[in-house]
Amino acid sequence: MGPHPHGWWIVLHLVLFVFWLGGDLGVFHSSRHVLDPAATPQARATALRIMSGLDLAPKICLVLFLPSGVTLMAMEPHGAELFGVRLFPLWSVLLVWAFALGWLALTVADHRTHGRFPLVRRADWAIRLTLVAVIAGSAAYTMFAEHPFGVDTGPRWLGAKLALYALAIAAGLGIRLRLRAFGPAFGALTASGSTPEVERALRRSVDGCLPFVWTIWACVLGAAVLGVLKPGATL
């Protein structure tokens, strides 16, 4: 049978799934220690640093999921076209990688500077909102058109996978919105110690993220299943 012609790209795509979900699980576990009122402020600050360090891995994986997925689509003989133009020629794949690396630089910079540079954060937000709209639109067309982009191999599974990716990006933005009150509350904890008001603010902020976190986990697992099983495809 021989090796898969683009097996290493598949390995990269799967590794991104693993580190995305694994990193998120680590962040979740660390957050429980951050919220522990029995721990000292110093111990909770240490847990927060661990949580922040772990959180970088899922952010990197989310970004690289885009170009690795586009690369895999370009390598499959699907014959996709848009207005008579073949989709995913080599130059477009390279352009997606260049865009993704620039987006990754913004993501890492914003993570390490904790939002101290508003232009970086706004640029990252704009990219994510644009991608959610574009990917969700492409997903809907792929799922509901009879022959999306001229493809007749049953690519609806891919449309569903794209929809889950867009939903995961949107859920990540929801987490950021819920965590806006966390910084001031944790600053009050380290400055003046624990109070019922501070503890409520911390728990409300972190636990308010849980629906978005669960959504991301479901999206990552669902996308992995779709990518492996490809339900409905006639390849």
Per the CB < 8 A criterion, the answer to whether 162 and 139 are in contact is yes
Q: What is the dihedral of CA 105, 108, 113, 119, to 10 degrees?
A: 40
Give, in order, the Cα–Cα distances in Å from 49 to each of 37, 44, 54, 72, 111. Answer: 17, 9, 9, 35, 12
Q: Stretch 15-31: mean pLDDT, rounded?
A: 95
Look at residue 1 and tell me whether its pLDDT is greater than 60: no
pLDDT tens, position by position, 129-154: 999 999 999 999 999 988 888 787 77
Q: CA 76 to CA 50: how far, in whole Å?
A: 40
The Cα–Cα gap between 129 and 169 comes to: 8
- Note every long-range contact of 10-15, with CB atoms under 8 Å and residues 24 or more positions apart, other chains counting: 10/72, 12/64, 12/68, 13/65, 13/68, 13/69, 13/72, 13/227, 14/224
**Cα separations in angstroms, 12 against 16, 68, 174:** 6, 7, 27
pLDDT tens digit sequence for 178-219: 999 999 999 999 998 999 999 999 999 999 999 999 999 999
182, 209 Cβ separation under 8 angstroms: no
What is the pTM (predicted TM-score) of this model? Answer: 0.93
